[in-house]
Amino acid sequence: MEILAANITKRKDGRYMGKFIAGYDDNGKAQYQYVYGRNYNEAEHKVLIGREVASRYLSGRYITVGKVCEEWLNAVVNRVKESTFVNYKAKFEKHILPVFVDIPCADLSAGMINEFINKKLAEGLSASYVRDIFTVFKSMLKYAQEEYGFRLSLKNVVLPKAEKKQIEKISDTQQKRLVSHLRANISLTAFGILISLFMGLRIGELCGLKWSDVDFDNKILHIKRTVQRISSANGSRKTKVIISTPKSETSFRSVAIPDFLMEYFKMFRNEADFFILSGSDNVIEPRTMQYRYKKILQFAEVDNHNFHKLRHTFATNCAEKGFDVKTLSVVLGHSSVNLTLNRYIHPDRSHERKLMNSMCMRL
């Protein structure tokens, strides 16, 4: 066998054989890949291509979770909302990186990730939150595989089953007591609470309402923004209030205003384009609204609950009054009808019994 140049030899059969390092075994010993050509140039060309492919594979083979995390966050920062980016970053910094930061992505296994999941559950995190952590981790690993050319199977990762919490609506008796108190002590805060109870707005959407969002002629309310308090993206413990677009594309919506609420819109109407809840250019953040709501519940002698229960109560009331699910889904700003059905609509037994008896009476 004639040696013509480094890594290329001429065989006795006239063909040219080239070799290049394709990887290393567990002991660090080089593993070679062989290619053949009808002439020297063809063999050399195949060696050069092979080296390039192998180099890319090897660089990807040993790139760590920490390195890819940095790259992935830089890739998505301008593609997602600021609040979403902060959420992603927090999940990596608090949960994923402390465990996997120096581990090569290609060395990850279902066993390692299942152990991580079980540990997080043992620490007291909810199944739903652990699933969210894995979803972010999986998105980053998909990016790593596409960029660095290795394959990683996660089909044996076993996610915990998220338990659906049964949220009861505010009872009819307590709703009446609350509404009576709000109407007797009407203010911009009380008005805001009535909007959420009778129109199903999220607290952030309510805080983001401006007078320009109200179509007085057609009695329509346009939901265009939301208010949130988020952590700072620079890693400090400081938080800040941001005004951004609604939760999703379907959260941009226009909702018919009930006639009795329209009277309050007219009562508080301001020609300046102020925020409705504050009556000024200053926004009232959800945390402040939640605090004010708790105080009102005390004065109204209504059982304590969080502000979001108003939205759940609105959805359940609509279902009990015969709203079709598609219309209700649009009013709530959900991305699918299934989300409306699974998350909010849990009519109580008394309503279920009325429907059952009504069905029997027709036979």
- 184 with 296, same domain: the answer is yes
Residue 236 lies in a domain: yes
Instruction: Quote the domain boundaries for residue 17.
Output: 2-61
- 351 with 215, same domain: the answer is yes
- 296 with 218, same domain: the answer is yes
Rg (CA), the chain: 30
- 254 with 221, same domain: the answer is yes
- 23 with 95, same domain: the answer is no
Residue 6's pLDDT is what?
A: 57
- The whole-angstrom separation of Cα 235 and Cα 85 is 12
Residue 184 lies in a domain: yes
Residue 352 lies in a domain: yes
- 240 with 114, same domain: the answer is no
Say how many domains are in the chain: 3
- 57 with 192, same domain: the answer is no
Residue 164 lies in a domain: no
- 244 with 275, same domain: the answer is yes
This prediction's pTM: 0.71
255 φ/ψ angles, rounded to the nearest 5 degrees: -125, 135
Residue 160 lies in a domain: no
Residue 66 lies in a domain: no
Structure tokens at 112: 């390692």
Residue-by-residue DSSP string for 231-268: E-TTS-S-EEEEEE--SSGGGSEEEEPPHHHHHHHHHH
3-state helix, strand, coil in the chain (%, to 5): 55, 15, 35
Residue 234 lies in a domain: yes
- 179 with 258, same domain: the answer is yes
Residue 7 lies in a domain: yes
- 198 with 116, same domain: the answer is no
pLDDT tens, N- to C-terminus, the chain (363 residues): 544 455 788 888 889 988 877 766 667 677 788 888 889 888 888 888 877 766 655 555 678 899 999 999 999 998 888 889 999 999 999 999 999 999 988 889 999 999 999 999 999 999 999 999 999 999 999 999 888 877 888 899 999 987 766 678 999 999 999 999 999 999 999 999 999 999 999 999 999 999 999 999 999 999 999 999 888 666 566 888 888 888 777 788 999 999 999 999 999 998 899 999 999 999 999 999 999 999 999 999 999 999 999 999 999 898 888 788 888 888 888 877 777 777 766 555 666 666 677 667 655
Contacts of residue 322, Cβ cutoff 8 Å, sequence gap at least 6: none
Residue 359's pLDDT is what?
A: 65
Q: Is 126 exposed, middle or buried (0-12, 13-18, 19+ CB in 10 A)?
A: middle
8 Å CB contact between 245 and 81: yes
